[in-house]
Every structure is written in structure tokens, then in C-alpha cells.
Amino acid sequence: MMSSKLADKFLELRRTHRFEKKEDGFTEIQFLELFQSELSTFPSNDIVELSYQISNFIKYFKMTPIIPFKLISETNFLTSLYSLFMNDSLSYQFLTNITYILGIFIGPKNVECDIPFYSEESFIHRLIYFLQLPISPQYSIPTNVEPINNLVIQTINLLVYFFINHPNGKQIIFSYNINIIFEKQLMVSNNTKLISFASNFLIQILPFISNSEEKEFVISLVSNLIKTTNDTHSLTHLLNCLFLCMSENEQARIFLVSEGICEKCSEVIKNIKDIGNFTPWITIHAIKILALVGNVGNNDELTLLMNSNCFHSLFTYKYSFLDLSPTLRIDIDAFSPVCSFISGLILKNNELINSLFLDNNIIQHICNVINTGPFDKKICSMSVISSVIEIKNIQMYNIIIECNVISSILPLMSDASRELTHLFILFLNNLLDSFHGSLELLQNSGILNIFDSIYNEIDENCLEEFELTIKRFSE
């Protein structure tokens, strides 16, 4: 049976008309060549050259899927970087970039080596110093405000990784009272971005706070933040941070759902609909949170999600996010998580939820997108169709047939990249395995002619599977 990963793939391949595969970036050998070349003169005594070096290192790390951390640790790179990290003469922008790189080495990708200085007292005190910059005299200088905020945010990101991944991270955070800095200083900041990132950190450490009074205090801080933050700018940052936190931490997701994050997202979506027919980032973040809960939430979370009025907010209040009306500005960044929300809930195969989709003609709307919508939305909608096929829901399948969607799906194969064509092949095989009569339906839709037209474009890695699929239609 096709796994839900296939539905996810249709959502991922949505950016360009032909959905070309993205450039993979640097191989390990390419990375090492570039890294060693840059390292030979690092750190430069010339401040401009040093800036280029730091920027290049960041680029190399970002564009290398598998970073050879152990090999890097055997060079003088980290020692040099640490000396820069402790240098008070460097600008806040420099320190922000250096802190970003140090965060990579304590992040989830590094499972190869330990970094000794991460446990040193001087390193911890340096992080604390950065966190307290917003209450320092330097912060009163207008030109320092944004650079300091950026440095503090990068420091918070590093501390999240430090707390999660360092063997003694939890003990160090609490023994140095870093949690108190977040609770008493950053959470009462006037800067909404700082508050959003600070709340992310507090949610991460919440299960490990032993003092019951402090735990209740943190819960009240976060809960109050969710309920009382209403201006668009602040909520945009907050929802983005909370989404990232929920994506990475199951306990954080469960906690936030229990504190009413789904209701807040539904409220945000309705409020933006009241303003106009467009989808700003705040709406997109809200939809992504609802989709995340719909895909991976447990039964209790699912109940809270469905009680949050999210269905009404997305599909029946004022207009539906599946509507193709030219008067609506629903771009692909909003449409994609809506499809993820639908496909995730369909895969739950819950009778009440399925009836909700059927009663409100959601499958018909998805079929309409595939029949008449733009190419990128067609591909996103395929995630929903794939989910219907996977759970073998005959009522939804009959709607797909009645809407003549198959005749719209097949031509997409002629206009797809090799990777996307492979997904269609998997989809067709699953369709054949799931529903009686689908073979004749596909044959009557001219599937063999389409196979002939794309044969030469099939990737060698899936050619055998493609030929076996053709054989199923020829027998």
C-alpha cells in the first residue's frame, strides 16, 4: 500500500511549472575543498576579508546536506571561531553570524563529535551576556537595537539546541538560571520577535522545570501570550516560532494544543478573512499549525482541533481556501498546507471527520481544482486524492470518478519532471490495487498513449517499475 509519504511528496513538488528537482548543493568532497581553501587564511586580520570568510563558511554549511563534523573538528576552525566569539571588538552582526555557525555544531545534524568548549564556563557566561544585552546601555542606542535583537535571537536558537542535544544541557541551563532570564527579562521585552523566540525556548524546557510554582508561572506566560497577542505583526512572529517548536517537539505540540493554539489559529484565519481576500504570512502560519496537528496529533489533540472551529474558518466562513475565484488571492503557500490539513485528516480515517468532508463537498472542490486549477495547485490536490485512494473510501472514490478527475490527472504526466512522473506511477499502481474497475477506467482514458509519449523521459532508476506498470494495462 502507498504510504502517506507519497501524499507528502505531491505537496513538496509544487514550486515550478515543471517541478524540476532542486540542486542538491555541495558534496562532501566539494565542501572539504572549499572549506580547506577558506580555512588556510582564517581568521583574516582584515575585517572586510573576515566578513567574507564568515559569510562563505555559512554558505558552505547551508549548501552541504551531510557536513563532515568530525573532520572539521580536527582542524583549528572551531578554536579560531571560538576566539572570535569571545572578541568584544567585533560588531553585533559578526557575533550573530559566528553564533549561528556555533549553533550548527550543537544542532541535530552533528552526531559525530563533541565540542569541548560548549561546557566551559566562559562559553556559558558569553551566552548569558548576549541574552542580557536588551537591558544594557548599548540597547539604548537606536542603531544597536536591531543588531542586538538579531544576536539575541541567534543565541536563543543555539540555547534550544544546547538544551536538547548537549549531554549536560538541561543541568547547565538551570544551574546558571538561564531560564530566569527568559522568564523575567525576555518575556517582558518590548520586541515581539524576542518574545516569540523566548516563548519557544520556555516551551522546550517546560517539562523539565521541577519547581511547581515556576512551572505554573511559565504556563501562564505562554498561555496568556497566545490568548492576548492580537496585532498582526506580533502574531506573525509568534505563530511562526510556535509552529517550528511544535514541528520539532512532540511534548511542546501537545502542550500548545491543550493551551488553545488551534482556537487561536482559527480565530486568526477568520479575522484575516474579515479584512480582505488575501493570505498574508500570519494566515499561512496558522494553517500550517492546524495541518500539523491534523497530520500527527493524537486522539486528544484531534478532538481539540475539530472543536476549534477550524473547519468553518478554512472552508465555510466567507470563502473557502479551495475556491478558484479570480477575486481571491490564495497563493500556493496557503493552498499547500490546506491540502496537507485535508489529506492528513483523511488518513486518520475517522468516520465523523470523513462525513464532514463529504457533507461539505470538500472532495468535489479538490476535484474542481485538479480539473480547472493551475498546475501547482493540481499537484498539491493530488495529495488529497492519494489519501482517498490509500484509505479505500468508496464514497470519496465515487466522487472522484463522477467528477471525471482521472482524465485530468493523466495529462499531468506529460508535463511533469521525472521525479513527479515517478510519483504518478506509484499513484496509478496503488489505484489499481485499491479499487475494482479502475483498470478499465484508466484504459478508456487513454493511459497507454500517455505512456508512449513519456517513455523516453522515464528515469533509469524507475524504468523497470514503469514497464511493469505498462504490462498491467496491456494484459
Helix (H) or strand (E) holding 244: helix 232-248
pLDDT score for 292: 97
CA-CA-CA-CA torsion sign (280, 281, 286, 287): positive
Tell me the pLDDT tens digit for each residue of 402-412. 998 888 887 87
Whole-number pLDDT of residue 112: 66
**300: amino acid identity, one letter:** D
Res 176 pLDDT > 50: yes
Contact between 137 and 147 under an 8 Å Cβ cutoff? The reply is no
E-only strand ranges, 230-300: none
Strand partners, 329: 278
Q: Check pLDDT > 80 for residue 53.
A: yes
Q: Report residue 116's pLDDT band, with 50, 70 and 90 as the boundaries.
A: confident
Q: Are 83 and 50 within 8 A, CB to CB?
A: no
For residues 306 and 390, what is the distance between their CA atoms, to the nearest angstrom? Answer: 22
Cα gap 96→85, rounded to integer Å: 9
pLDDT at 415 > cutoff 80: no
Where does the pLDDT of residue 90 fall: very low under 50, low under 70, confident under 90, or very high at 90 and above?
very high
Q: Percentage of residues in the chain with pLDDT exceeding 70?
A: 93
Q: Model pTM greater than 0.85? A: no
Distance from C-alpha of 10 to C-alpha of 369, rounded to nearest angstrom: 14
Query: What pLDDT is attached to residue 19?
Result: 40
Cβ neighbourhood burial of 444 (10 Å; 0-12, 13-18, 19+): exposed
- Per DSSP, the three-state class of 260 is coil
> Which long-range contacts does 79-88 make (Cβ < 8 Å, 24+ apart)?
80/42, 80/43, 82/117, 82/123, 83/43, 84/43, 85/123, 85/126, 86/122, 86/126
User: pLDDT tens digit string along 279-296?
Assistant: 899 999 999 999 999 999
Q: Which residue has the cell 547551508?
A: 62
Predicted confidence band of residue 3 (pLDDT cuts 50, 70, 90):
very low
Choose the weakest-confidence range: 81-95, 104-118, 130-144, 315-329.
Answer: 104-118
pLDDT the model gives residue 418 = 67
Angstrom distances, CA of residue 76 to CA of 29, 55, 100, 449:
19, 18, 18, 61
Q: In this structure, what DSSP letter does residue 414 have?
A: G
416 pLDDT exceeds 80? no
Residues present in the chain in total: 475
Q: Tell me: pLDDT of 2 over 60.
A: no
**Any idea which residue has 486568526 for its cell?**
268
pLDDT score, position 101: 95
pLDDT, average across residues 32-56 = 95
Query: Per-residue confidence at 458, pLDDT binned at 50, 70, 90?
Result: confident
Quote the pLDDT of residue 173.
Answer: 95
- How is the chain split into domains, by residue range? 229-315
Say what the pLDDT of residue 472 is: 79
Q: Which three cell numbers stand for residue 318?
A: 466567507
Using an 8 Å Cβ cutoff, are 167 and 209 in contact? no
Among 213-217, 221-225, 351-355, 454-458, the least confident range:
454-458
* Model confidence at 12: pLDDT above 80: no
> What secondary structure does DSSP assign to 205-238, as a single string?
HGGG---HHHHHHHHHHHHHHHHH--SHHHHHHH
* Predicted confidence band of residue 17 (pLDDT cuts 50, 70, 90): very low
- Using a 10 angstrom Cβ sphere, with 0-12 exposed, 13-18 middle and 19 or more buried, the burial of residue 396 is buried
pLDDT at 367 over 50: yes
In this prediction, residue 27 carries a pLDDT of: 87
Position 18 scores a pLDDT of 39
pLDDT mean across residues, the chain: 88
DSSP state of 361: T
CB 353 within 8 A of CB 345: yes
3-state secondary structure of 86: coil
Q: Which of 35, 121, 100 is nearest to 73 (CA)?
A: 35
- Average pLDDT value for residue range 39-56: 95
Q: 2 near 427, Cβ under 8 Å?
A: yes
Lowest mean pLDDT among 36-40, 188-192, 246-250, 449-453: 449-453
